[in-house]
């Protein structure tokens, strides 16, 4: 899809999107349509509102969507633009012209957001449909704004990073095995200029990652420890560590999930998709910061070699863990990845991100990430990045009372400490973070959607990818 910033005319396009924010700036050919829709009260020009009209431009008819708002570049307005884009794509538009003359506010923000939302709205997961039709869209034209091209290009990279994570998450688990995930990470990571290392079973054993291996060894598909490094600031010893949960399929293991609960569990590697996509985005933007991403990828399957409820296992840090439930596997893979990140990659700040608990979904719903931390300042920085990217997160508390719940009479820790489930999972990880500034992001809800929006279809959403890139930008 090519983009052009120029004074296009209706002759150049076969579809249009017109922002009506300042209606006096509407072009003369649109005004009668706008007036008619307003008079008939089918369109009020509310922020994000869409109205479809077929405009007679003299030489031809042009499918046109009027989008309300534009006086503020907020989520509602941007969703309205994305929706308009999707409508016209559905009407088989080839060349869409956007008229932003009615928009006011920050040009930089609008330019960046446009790069993001059209990139995000342009992806649909239809790789496996025999009747999937290639998009007819060839060209986007923009006018009415003195575009900030650099901000726009940054937005495209943010959008493409979001889409990359969605591709990984949508790819089903029969195809996206730990090995396949590592191949994607290596190929696409190296293309972006990252250093990528993939360790197999033997090396993982040598590292003593016994907690991670306990989960992995029930599957015939070999685990892969994936490490991606971006050395954007060679003068600094600081390393921002991103650890992502990469369970490419979570059946629950011997504590088998019910069929319904398994249905979406190809998405249990959304944390890994987020960190891989984010570090590729960070590299593409050339951010001046050192970032390392670590993914302990594996499957959680029942078999004769599976770990069992009641087992006591060890970990890379040497702590013993009672296996209360083999379905609480994510934290077992994460804690060894966290130890590896601190001890081998020398991370000085750490963020882990995971589809970790059903409890997070019950508490916060499908669109909000739950966040726990030991560092208020780090938390505030992440919160700002989520806000800037129009994604939702909410802080959850870590009280000493909850820490008591992690204790087990036979081992140092219990992997299935009871309610409140999101916080006991976070505290389990905290026991391995060695007091460095730490953020824990539970994306069990927002990473996989049961409903389509303007920005994404049903399924993967790419949650937290753009905020993680923005956080690295802030910490440069």
User: Which positions touch ligand BES (CB under 6 A)?
Assistant: 250, 268, 325, 327-330, 355-359, 361, 416, 421, 444
State which residue, 20 or 215, has the beta carbon closest to Zn ion: 215
State which residue, 241 or 253, has the beta carbon closest to Zn ion: 253
User: Per CB under 5 A, which of residues 299..328 are in contact with Zn ion?
Assistant: 327
State which residue, 64 or 415, has the beta carbon closest to ligand BES: 415
State which residue, 14 or 329, has the beta carbon closest to Zn ion: 329
154 binds, among ligand BES, Zn ion, none (CB under 5 to 8 A by kind): none
416 binds, among Zn ion, ligand BES, none (CB under 5 to 8 A by kind): ligand BES
State which residue, 121 or 247, has the beta carbon closest to Zn ion: 247
361 binds, among Zn ion, ligand BES, none (CB under 5 to 8 A by kind): ligand BES
Q: Nearest-CA neighbor of 341 among 212, 227, 246, 435?
A: 227
Near Zn ion by CB under 5 A, which window of 112-120, 267-275, 286-294, 399-407? Answer: 267-275
State which residue, 68 or 370, has the beta carbon closest to ligand BES: 370
Q: Where is 395: in which H helix or E strand?
A: strand 392-395
Near Zn ion by CB under 5 A, which window of 245-253, 342-350, 442-450, 455-463? Answer: 245-253
Q: Which of 63, 79, 268, 470 binds Zn ion (CB under 5 A)?
A: 268
For residue 19, what are the β-bridge partners? Answer: 67
The edge-to-edge listing of strands for the beta sheet with 50-56 is: 2-5, 139-143, 95-99, 15-19, 61-67, 50-56
Q: Nearest-CA neighbor of 369 among 280, 448, 275?
A: 448
Please say whether the beta carbons of 280 and 161 come within 8 A: yes
325 binds, among Zn ion, ligand BES, none (CB under 5 to 8 A by kind): ligand BES
165 binds, among Zn ion, ligand BES, none (CB under 5 to 8 A by kind): none
181 binds, among Zn ion, ligand BES, none (CB under 5 to 8 A by kind): none
334 binds, among Zn ion, ligand BES, none (CB under 5 to 8 A by kind): none
DSSP of 323-366, one letter per residue? -S-TT--HHHHHHHHHHHHHHTS--SEEEEEE---HHHHHHH-S
Give the residue numbers marked as catalytic. 257, 331
Residue burial 14-36, b: 16+ Cβ < 10 Å; e: rest:
bbbbbbbbebebbbebbeebbee
Q: Which of 330, 420, 437, 459 binds Zn ion (CB under 5 A)?
A: 330
Nearest approach, Cβ of residue 323 and ligand BES (Å): 11
State which residue, 293 or 356, has the beta carbon closest to Zn ion: 356
Residues in the chain: 476
Near Zn ion by CB under 5 A, which window of 178-186, 223-231, 266-274, 456-464? Answer: 266-274
User: Per CB under 5 A, which of residues 341..360 are in contact with Zn ion?
Assistant: none
Q: Is 271 in the site for Zn ion (CB under 5 A)?
A: no
State which residue, 268 or 391, has the beta carbon closest to Zn ion: 268
358 binds, among Zn ion, ligand BES, none (CB under 5 to 8 A by kind): ligand BES
Q: Is 391 in the site for Zn ion (CB under 5 A)?
A: no
Nearest approach, Cβ of residue 418 and ligand BES (Å): 8
CA dist 188 → 19, 120, 268, 402 (Å): 37, 19, 21, 41
Q: Is 442 in the site for Zn ion (CB under 5 A)?
A: no
Task: Rounding to the nearest 10 degrees, give the CA dihedral for residues 96, 101, 105, 108.
Answer: 50
Nearest approach, Cβ of residue 258 and Zn ion (Å): 12
* Token digits of residue 265: 């569990």
Q: Where is 108: in which H helix or E strand?
A: helix 107-121
Nearest approach, Cβ of residue 275 and ligand BES (Å): 16
Residue 6 CB burial class (10 angstroms; 0-12, 13-18, ≥19): exposed
Distance CA 32, CA 26 (A): 10
Instruction: Assess whether the previous peptide bond of 130 is cis (omega < 30° from 0).
Output: no
Nearest approach, Cβ of residue 328 and ligand BES (Å): 4
Sorted by sequence, the CB contacts under 8 Å of residue 267 that are 6+ apart come out as 169, 355, 447, 448, 459, 460
CA dist 42 → 18, 35, 456 (Å): 16, 11, 26
- HSE at residue 375, side-chain half, CA atoms within 13 A, is 17
Q: Where are the beta strands (DSSP E) in 166-233?
A: 195-199, 224-231
- The residues binding Zn ion (CB under 5 A) are 247, 250, 268, 327, 329-330
């Amino acid at each position: 899809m090519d983009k052009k910033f120029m004074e296009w005319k209706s002759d150049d396009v076969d579809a249009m999107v017109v922002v009506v924010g300042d209606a006096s700036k509407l072009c003369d050919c649109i005004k009668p349509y706008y007036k008619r829709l307003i008079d008939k009260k089918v369109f009020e020009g509310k922020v994000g509102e869409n109205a479809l009209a077929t405009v007679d431009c003299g030489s031809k008819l042009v499918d046109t969507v009027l989008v309300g708002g534009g006086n503020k570049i907020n989520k509602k307005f941007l969703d309205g633009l994305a929706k308009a884009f999707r409508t016209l794509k559905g009407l088989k538009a080839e060349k869409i012209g956007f008229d932003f003359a009615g928009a006011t506010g920050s040009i930089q923000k609008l330019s960046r957001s446009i790069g993001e939302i059209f990139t995000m709205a342009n992806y649909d997961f239809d790789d496996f449909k025999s009747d999937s039709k290639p998009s007819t869209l060839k060209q986007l034209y923009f006018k009415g704004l003195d575009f900030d091209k650099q901000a726009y290009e940054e937005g495209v990279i943010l959008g493409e990073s979001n889409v990359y994570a969605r591709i990984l998450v949508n790819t089903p688990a029969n195809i996206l095995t730990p090995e396949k995930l590592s191949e994607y990470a290596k190929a696409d990571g190296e293309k972006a200029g990252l250093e990528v290392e993939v360790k197999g079973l033997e090396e993982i054993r040598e590292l003593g990652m016994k907690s991670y291996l306990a989960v992995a060894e029930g599957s015939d598909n070999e685990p892969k420890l994936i490490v991606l490094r971006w050395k954007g600031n060679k003068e600094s010893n600081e390393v921002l560590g991103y650890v992502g949960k990469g369970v490419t399929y979570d059946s629950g293991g011997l504590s088998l999930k019910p069929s319904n609960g398994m249905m979406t569990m190809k998405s249990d590697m959304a944390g890994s998709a987020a960190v891989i996509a984010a570090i590729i985005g960070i590299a593409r933007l050339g951010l001046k910061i050192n970032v390392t991403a670590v993914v302990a990828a594996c499957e959680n399957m029942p078999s004769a070699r599976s770990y069992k409820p009641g087992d006591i296992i060890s970990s890379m840090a040497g702590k013993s863990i009672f296996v209360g439930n083999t379905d609480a596997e994510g934290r077992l893979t994460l804690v060894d990845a966290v130890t590896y990140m601190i001890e081998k990659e020398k991370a000085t700040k750490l963020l882990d991100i995971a589809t970790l608990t059903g409890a997070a979904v019950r508490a916060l719903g499908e669109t909000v990430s739950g966040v726990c931390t030991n560092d208020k300042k780090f938390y505030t920085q992440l919160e700002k990045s989520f806000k800037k990217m129009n994604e939702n997160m909410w802080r959850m508390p870590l009280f000493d009372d909850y820490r008591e719940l992690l204790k087990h009479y036979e081992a140092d820790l219990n992997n299935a400490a009871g309610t409140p489930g999101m916080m006991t999972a976070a505290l389990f990880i905290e026991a391995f973070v060695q007091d460095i500034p730490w953020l824990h992001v539970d994306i069990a809800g927002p990473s996989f959607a049961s409903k389509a929006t303007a920005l994404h279809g049903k399924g993967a959403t790419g949650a937290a990818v753009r905020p993680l890139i923005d956080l690295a930008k802030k910490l440069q």
